[in-house]
Homo-oligomer: A and B are copies of this chain.
Amino acid sequence: MNKHKALKGAVAAFASVAALGAMAAPAYAADGTYSPNGKTVSELAKHGGAQRIASIGNEKAKNVILFLGDGMGDSEITVARDYLKGVNGHFEGLDAVGQPGALGDAKAGTGQYTTFSLGNGSKDSAVGKDGDGKLVANPNPGRITPVTDSSASGSSWATGTKTYNNAVDVDVYGNPQLNLFELAKASGKATGNVTTAEIQDATPAVLESHSTERSCYGPQGKTDGSSNDALKRCLANQLKENGGIGSISEQLLDTRADVTIGGGSKYFRQTVQGGEYKGKTVWEQAREMGFQTVENDPAAMNALQYKDNQPVLALMSDGNMPTKFNPSKATAKDPAKDANPTVCTPNADWLGNQGSSLKDMTKKALDLLNANPNGQKNGYFLQVEGASIDKQDHAGNACGQIGETDDFDQAIAYALKNVDLNNTLVIVTADHAHTSQILNAQPTYALSTVLKTADGENMVVSYGTAQDDSRDEDGGYNGGSMEHTGTQLRIAASGPGAQRVTGLTDQTDNFYTIAGALGLATSTEAQSALSADAEVKVNANDGAYTAEATGFNGDAVLSYELKDKATGKTLAASDSSTPVSGVRVKTAQTTGIALDGITEGGEYTLTVAGRQSGKTVSFDFQAPAQGSSANTKGNGGSKANGTIASGKAAQSTDRNALGTTGTAVLAIALAAALMAAVAMLIRTAKATRNEH
């Protein structure tokens, strides 16, 4: 009897959800067949192209918390459990998520997912260089990479799009892909981003920015501000001074998450190189933009309170945060290690000693999100990263990775005790597997550490994947990096929608799980539709003119063009040489565009287009003459002030499909133009949509 039935109930029940993900090829064909399907790279590179479970629907959750253990493969979980709890012990938080019965009657699910990436297989390096040696977007997208880095991983769950190692929320062609924070903000939700790493590191960065290079940390690159290596670290065209959308740190401010807590404060000491805040430090820019800032001060972090329209930016260390345990050092085979196994010791420099453990930071984030009116009304999305599991695994540091797993577990346990799993989906997973392996005896080939576990037994943790022989004189680890591995990963979930993590999924499915639970726009069409109500106003302020774009919530980047109507000459325009050129959208806020070259009484055509959605606002306007009716009350100067024109989006007739080419075409359809003389100054007014 052949019971390989066609899909019935499952598909029918979730048809509406499947429709949302219509761009993605479902893992199971409509006729119910289930056969191996190695797709082509170009298919995989599409938004949603690598999904395995498009046909499995979501349940709705008000809130989602994603706990992300960087590099926390099953081996790393087991290493830490065996050491800290004993082989039959369990983690209070990490192992409770997804465990039926462990969290009352919360729904629970566990599964595995695949983590490969696309591109040239390089890690943390340039994707390509042009003839002048400048970094350019991926010139060779037609490849599959078995082992992902953290940036391609993060981009996968943050956007649903498979991409190349080194990419931050851009596809293999360099096109920005909308991320969970942008979509959550478009939906009026509160957002939080917590990590023990530098906040510019790949995993937090995928919620804040779009960058063709993961190390484009700040406007001056990956420095403490004393130098400028941005051209080594960033695609030149992404830099503000070259008409680009800016570095990761700058985009973090544009993204304006409600809560951002992590490390990497030194990059905010860099000097902004272009745009409105040119010459100021990024910290100064943050404060001018209304952020509550904390720099390397746990007490101040713990004292933070929710304040309306004053998001929190607390960076607790110059770089990555110190680890919970002091490092151990993997060394060559030596019987003496068996006789004197290593016991990990606490690190005096760990910030948890000062009230800034990952649990402390998670508590603060939850308090702030719960106090936030948007969070209360619409829910929140919070990501919490245990970042240095990965970093210490790279370093062959067993104690380091174990301590970080412990810190991570405590943060999860805190959350489980303080959220309502009836309306909050909690997910625990990793971004890629890693190198450490548990053995009974020391290996000959690999380096290893012999640990004395909570059971009082020796356990060998082995590290053998470095590409360079980095042993020092003592045969110990000497800085060469142990490598990520390509093994499928564990994912666990408790709360509404936890069933979606069951079975074999792909990392990109996590985007659909999270976004679907929160009711965010997942398909390319639904995302484009978020810009349907886009509006642009032209404001005058003492002879300076600014376009103020709102409602481009289905876009990450805007292009614009200002033409003299009489001469047809372009007076000002965004750079469009790469997909990360142009104006960074401030989702659910007002995105300002300075318009140069306008003279009083002149007539102009302004076109502003969302480069992801293709939605275009274009209208003609006349700059008011001196002393015209555009003057507002209380601002009776001699120049025209206030909104002088505005336009609404029209559907482009030549919409540029997301993810197919590297350049967005400026649509030319013209909307009905509203001319001059609208008597409201909105230059400093609050945006009309959710600003948090």
A interface residues with partner B (beta carbon < 8 Å)? 1-11, 27-28, 32, 34-39, 41, 44, 50, 52-53, 55-56, 73-75, 77-78, 81-82, 84-92, 95-96, 98-106, 108-112, 114, 116, 121, 123, 143-147, 416-422, 433, 435, 437-447, 453-460, 462-469, 480, 483-490, 492, 499, 502-504, 506
Contact A417 B3 (CB under 8 A): yes
Known contacts A99-B503, A441-B467; is-contact A27 B90 (Cβ 8 Å) = yes
Across the interface, which residues of B come within 8 angstroms of A110, CB to CB?
Answer: 110-112, 502-504
Across the interface, which residues of B come within 8 angstroms of A446, CB to CB?
Answer: 445-446, 464-465
Across the interface, which residues of B come within 8 angstroms of A459, CB to CB?
Answer: 146, 486
Across the interface, which residues of B come within 8 angstroms of A116, CB to CB?
Answer: 82, 87-88
CB distance from A353 to the nearest CB of B (A): 22
Q: Return the chain B residue nearest A41 by Cβ.
A: B455
Contact B483 A439 (CB under 8 A): yes
Contact A88 B466 (CB under 8 A): no
Contact B486 A464 (CB under 8 A): no
CB distance from A143 to the nearest CB of B (A): 6
* Bound: A463/B439 CA distance, A: 13
Known contacts A28-B101, A34-B96, A86-B144; is-contact A112 B74 (Cβ 8 Å) = yes
Known contacts A468-B444, A486-B78; is-contact A88 B147 (Cβ 8 Å) = no
Q: Return the chain B residue nearest A26 by Cβ.
A: B101
Contact B440 A121 (CB under 8 A): yes
Across the interface, which residues of B come within 8 angstroms of A103, CB to CB?
Answer: 3-5, 34
* Bound: A104/B484 CA distance, A: 36
Contact B444 A7 (CB under 8 A): no
Contact A87 B146 (CB under 8 A): yes
Across the interface, which residues of B come within 8 angstroms of A32, CB to CB?
Answer: 104
CB distance from A111 to the nearest CB of B (A): 5
Across the interface, which residues of B come within 8 angstroms of A146, CB to CB?
Answer: 82, 87, 438-440, 453, 457, 459-460
Contact A78 B488 (CB under 8 A): yes
Contact A144 B455 (CB under 8 A): yes
Contact B486 A82 (CB under 8 A): yes
Across the interface, which residues of B come within 8 angstroms of A112, CB to CB?
Answer: 74, 110, 490
Contact A483 B443 (CB under 8 A): yes
Contact A445 B469 (CB under 8 A): yes
CB distance from A505 to the nearest CB of B (A): 9
* Bound: A220/B465 CA distance, A: 43
Q: Return the chain B residue nearest A10 by Cβ.
A: B101
* Bound: A466/B462 CA distance, A: 11
Across the interface, which residues of B come within 8 angstroms of A85, CB to CB?
Answer: 36-38
Known contacts A7-B104, A457-B143; is-contact A38 B86 (Cβ 8 Å) = yes
* Bound: A446/B446 CA distance, A: 6
Contact B39 A86 (CB under 8 A): yes
Contact A101 B38 (CB under 8 A): no
* Bound: A453/B91 CA distance, A: 37
Q: Return the chain B residue nearest A419 by Cβ.
A: B3
Q: Return the chain B residue nearest A98 by Cβ.
A: B503
Can you name 16 extra interface pairs (CB under 8 A) apart from A78-B488, A437-B486?
A3-B417, A36-B92, A37-B88, A38-B86, A39-B86, A39-B88, A74-B112, A75-B433, A88-B506, A121-B457, A123-B440, A146-B453, A146-B457, A147-B440, A446-B465, A488-B490
* Bound: A36/B484 CA distance, A: 29
Across the interface, which residues of B come within 8 angstroms of A420, CB to CB?
Answer: 1, 3
Most buried by B among A2, A41, A147, A420: A147
* Bound: A243/B679 CA distance, A: 106
Contact B445 A7 (CB under 8 A): no
* Bound: A96/B503 CA distance, A: 8
Known contacts A443-B465, A446-B464, A464-B465; is-contact A102 B503 (Cβ 8 Å) = yes
Q: Return the chain B residue nearest A25 by Cβ.
A: B88
Contact B504 A99 (CB under 8 A): yes
Across the interface, which residues of B come within 8 angstroms of A439, CB to CB?
Answer: 146-147, 465, 483, 485-486
Known contacts A446-B465, A465-B445; is-contact A483 B88 (Cβ 8 Å) = no
* Bound: A39/B458 CA distance, A: 16
Across the interface, which residues of B come within 8 angstroms of A456, CB to CB?
Answer: 144
Q: Return the chain B residue nearest A505 by Cβ.
A: B99
Contact A52 B90 (CB under 8 A): yes
**Contact for A104 among B8, B416, B455, B469, CB less than 8 A:** B8
* Bound: A145/B440 CA distance, A: 7
Across the interface, which residues of B come within 8 angstroms of A487, CB to CB?
Answer: 73-75, 78, 437-438
CB distance from A578 to the nearest CB of B (A): 26
Contact A38 B455 (CB under 8 A): yes
Contact B504 A90 (CB under 8 A): yes
Q: Return the chain B residue nearest A82 by Cβ.
A: B146
Contact B438 A147 (CB under 8 A): yes
CB distance from A496 to the nearest CB of B (A): 13
Across the interface, which residues of B come within 8 angstroms of A421, CB to CB?
Answer: 3
Across the interface, which residues of B come within 8 angstroms of A8, CB to CB?
Answer: 104-105
* Bound: A108/B444 CA distance, A: 41
Contact B503 A7 (CB under 8 A): no
Contact A457 B99 (CB under 8 A): no
**Contact for A445 among B9, B447, B488, CB less than 8 A:** B447
* Bound: A465/B106 CA distance, A: 40
Across the interface, which residues of B come within 8 angstroms of A84, CB to CB?
Answer: 36
* Bound: A232/B81 CA distance, A: 37
CB distance from A497 to the nearest CB of B (A): 13
Q: Return the chain B residue nearest A506 by Cβ.
A: B88
Contact B75 A418 (CB under 8 A): no
Across the interface, which residues of B come within 8 angstroms of A469, CB to CB?
Answer: 444-445
Contact A502 B82 (CB under 8 A): no
* Bound: A77/B8 CA distance, A: 29
**Contact for A114 among B2, B27, B39, B87, CB less than 8 A:** B87
Across the interface, which residues of B come within 8 angstroms of A105, CB to CB?
Answer: 5, 8-10
Contact B100 A502 (CB under 8 A): yes
Contact A4 B416 (CB under 8 A): yes
* Bound: A109/B1 CA distance, A: 23
